[in-house]
Structures are given as C-alpha cells and as structure tokens.
Amino acid sequence: MDSTKEKNGNYKDDLLLRMGLNDNKAGMEGLDKEKINKIIMEATKGSRFYGNELKKEKQVNQRIENMMQQKAQITSQQLRKAQLQVDRFAMELEQSRDLNNTIVHIDMDAFYAAVEMRDNPELKDKPIAVGSSSMLSTSNYHARRFGVRAAMPGFIAKRLCPQLIIVPSNFDKYRAVSKEVKEILADYDPNFMAMSLDEAYLNITKHLQERQNWPEDKRRYFIKTGHSLENGMERGKA
C-alpha cells in the first residue's frame, strides 16, 4: 500500500517535471515557477493531454528501470574495458580536431510570432502565441512573462494568460520568409546547414578570409522592402 502511494507520488513529481514550467528560454527569467506550475497542473487535470503525458512518463520510467536492470548485470571488467575504449576514442577525436573553422549557429528568435507581428503591427505590444488550443509553436516575449511558451497546449496557455491572442499557424508564410532569410545566409556560406525554418549552421571561415580584402563599400549591402521603398529609404544590413 505504502509502496503504491510512493510510486504514485513519484509519478506525480516526474509529471510535474515533464509538464511544469521550463524557463530555460529567453524572456522567461525570474518567473514565479511555483505559481505557474500550480495553474498548469490545475488546468490539465482530467484532460486528454494530462492522460497522455502520464502515459508517456510511465513509459519513460519503465525504460529507465529496464536500463538500470541491464546496467546491474555489467561486470567491473566489462566497465573497465568500455572505459578504455571510450578514452581511446576521445583521444583520437582530440588529435583530429580542426579549430581553424569559424562556425555560426543562427536561431531566429520567436520566428513564427515575429512574422505575425511584422504582418500585423497591432500585435506587437500584446501577448501572442502561434498555434492552436491543442499545441503552441511559439510565443512572443509579452506572453513569456506569463509562462506561455512553445510545446504548451493553448488551453493551458489561456489559463496562464487569459488575454493571450492565439494566431493560427501559417506555414506557407513562414516557409516564404525563411526562404528570404536563407538567401542571405547563402551569401556567407553557400553550403550552410538548415536545421529547420528558423535555424541554421554556417561555416563562415572562407567568407571571413575573403572579407579582409574587401573595400569598405562591399562590406555592407541593402535590402529593399515595400515599406522602405514607400518612404524612399533603404535598410542597411552589416
């Protein structure tokens, strides 16, 4: 009986870790995690989302238990052998490291929300998220102050922030904007690695070498937009 209660209590704690506030994101510093987690747990109780998350957590715990059982069967001799193999592999990797490349990681901030605010400036000073009541893809910084973030069901986000505006996703539009950005990235590394619509890795080593001999007027370029053309202006990009 006690062990069952303890197990259920552990599941509840693990579930809180899974469903509770993850503030490891820009714009979510200093939030009241205890208050937000209480709202999240109260909003999800009895929902299909809660049941699914509980099921996932039990599956994870079962996999961990299976792995721990397998670990218990490993002998000290096998551990030593594996450690030597890992050490040897790490040494080979260290000897082959090339630190002469400059790699840049680009992750566009709140990308979907930023596109929506660009197209509808009235949203800029309001808490918004992109997605649906089932799941959000992202949120702007105003919404993040309430604990609203990506990978959170919209119905929970509404409990955290009743005035939240949820904008339906428009991936055709996001792909079009992403294409524009990637055309710029290609100027710096034609072989850049796109990880998603809003994330990429660039090797700018060659660009930096070539740039050293560029004249000053080549070190910057201008993007013409509909808005800037109307005002007779060009927006510079360094």
- Running DSSP on this structure, what letter comes out for residue 121? G
As a dihedral over the C-alpha atoms of residue 58, residue 61, residue 65, residue 71, rounded to 10 degrees, the angle is 150
CA distances (Å), origin 208, targets 11, 22, 186: 52, 37, 14
Q: What tokens were used for 118?
A: 């660009």
199 is catalytic: yes
User: What contacts 198, CB < 8 A, 6 or more positions away?
Assistant: 107, 108, 111, 112, 174, 178
Exactly one of 94, 199, 216, 234 is catalytic; which is it? 199
Tell me which residue of 90, 156, 99, 91 sits closest to 129, measured CA to CA: 156
Q: What tokens were used for 234?
A: 């060009």
Q: Which helix or strand (DSSP H or E) is residue 38 part of?
A: helix 33-44
Which residues have a catalytic role annotated?
Answer: 199
